[in-house]
């Protein structure tokens, strides 16, 4: 059986159990009727047990048998990576199943650069190894790449660009490098980390709008924003109120109140230039209600 079909079965099991706990018989019957089961393969109990173990190891979703319910249920499911993986697979499967769809599907032509470095960076992170990269800055008019030795800790995707958070060995500090500015990456040396991984490095971007952290000493602030509700929504001017409910600005976003005329949102994050630019893009459709530096910047 192909890997894509096995992946489809794993996703089916997870999505079914996210709805409600199921017995092995319920899962088997549902799988037999599922459009995902293109080859009509049964979901035997031995296969289910093996899939549950793989789902735990690969997707970090824990499925256990609840004796009181006499059914399987998800007991741990908090890794956002899994949902991103499922969504990427949906796109891949649609394109694979229907062949050339260039006349009915149009992708953004501004393809993110640097994705070819994701695999070696991930490998180095898992193996705690140093890397050498040739890197240039956007504002460097001479465009002369600098050679930097890094100890990579974390990959971050923001606004269709990829970044790596790493310890800069020469600078002796944490730095964020854009993958689209790497011209060459050397992972041939087997040199382990020489610097201890900072505590809580996985939370480094939690208070950031994107990958811009400004400085390690910049503190998160509470920001309250009022967005106007437009009387007529259009493709050229989408209603920010509805758009921001569907696609929050930040994970900390809360709806404070909503009226017929506006929606008021509260966020807690670092006020960085990329966040300010995002707010400015709404023009007179947004008003800053909180008393902080964002008012001056806007």
Distance CA 275, CA 290 (A): 15
Contacts 24+ apart (CB under 8 A), 79-87: 82/14, 85/59, 86/11, 86/14
Distance CA 165, CA 121 (A): 11
Per-position b or e across 258-280, b if 16+ CB within 10 A of its CB: eeeebbbbbbebbbbeebbebbe
- Greater confidence, 280 or 81? 280
Is pLDDT above 50 for 235?
Answer: no
CATH class of the domain comprising 115-203: mainly beta
Distance CA 223, CA 268 (A): 6
Centroid of chain to Cα 14 = 19
Give the CATH architecture of domain 220-288: 2-Layer Sandwich (3.30)
By DSSP bridging, strand 161-168 and strand 146-158 are: antiparallel
CA separation, residue 76 to residues 11, 146, 244, 270 (Å): 15, 43, 28, 30
Q: Where in the chain is the domain with CATH 2.30.30?
A: 115-203
Judge contact between 63 and 56, C-beta under 8 A.
yes
Average pLDDT rounded to a whole number, residues 66-83: 85
Which residue carries 């893009």 as its tokens?
281
Q: Where in the chain is the domain with CATH 3.30.70?
A: 220-288
pLDDT band at 297 (very low <50, low <70, confident <90, very high): low
Burial of 131 (0-12, 13-18, 19+ CB in 10 A): buried
Is pLDDT above 70 for 186?
Answer: yes
CATH, range 3-97: 1.10.10.10
Distance CA 169, CA 178 (A): 17
pLDDT (0 to 100) of residue 59: 84
Strand, coil or helix: 96: helix
């Amino acid at each position: 059986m192909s890997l894509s079909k096995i992946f489809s079965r794993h996703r089916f099991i997870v999505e079914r159990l996210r709805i409600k706990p199921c017995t092995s018989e319920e899962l088997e019957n549902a799988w037999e009727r599922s459009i995902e089961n293109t080859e009509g393969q049964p979901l035997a109990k031995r296969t289910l047990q093996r899939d549950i173990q793989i789902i735990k190891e690969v997707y970090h979703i824990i499925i256990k048998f609840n004796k009181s319910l006499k059914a399987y249920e998800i007991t741990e499911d908090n890794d956002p990576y899994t949902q991103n993986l499922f969504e990427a697979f949906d796109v891949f499967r649609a394109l694979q199943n229907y062949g050339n769809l260039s006349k009915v599907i149009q992708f953004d032509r501004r393809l993110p650069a640097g994705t070819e470095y994701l695999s070696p960076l991930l490998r180095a992170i898992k193996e705690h190894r140093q890397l050498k990269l040739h890197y240039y800055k956007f504002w460097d008019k001479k465009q002369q790449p600098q050679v930097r030795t890094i100890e990579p800790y974390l990959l971050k995707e923001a606004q269709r660009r990829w970044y790596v958070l790493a310890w800069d060995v020469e600078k002796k500090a944490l730095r964020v490098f854009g993958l689209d500015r790497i011209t060459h990456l050397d992972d041939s040396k087997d040199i382990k980390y020489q610097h201890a991984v900072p505590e809580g490095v996985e939370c480094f971007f939690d208070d950031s709008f994107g990958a811009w952290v400004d400085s390690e000493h910049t503190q998160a602030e509470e920001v309250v924003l009022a967005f106007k509700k437009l009387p007529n929504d259009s493709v050229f001017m989408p209603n920010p109120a509805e758009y921001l409910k569907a696609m929050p600005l930040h994970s900390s976003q809360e709806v404070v109140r909503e009226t017929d005329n506006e929606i008021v949102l509260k966020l807690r994050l670092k006020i960085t230039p990329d966040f300010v630019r995002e707010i400015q893009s709404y023009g007179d459709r947004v008003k800053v209600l909180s008393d902080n530096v964002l008012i001056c910047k806007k």
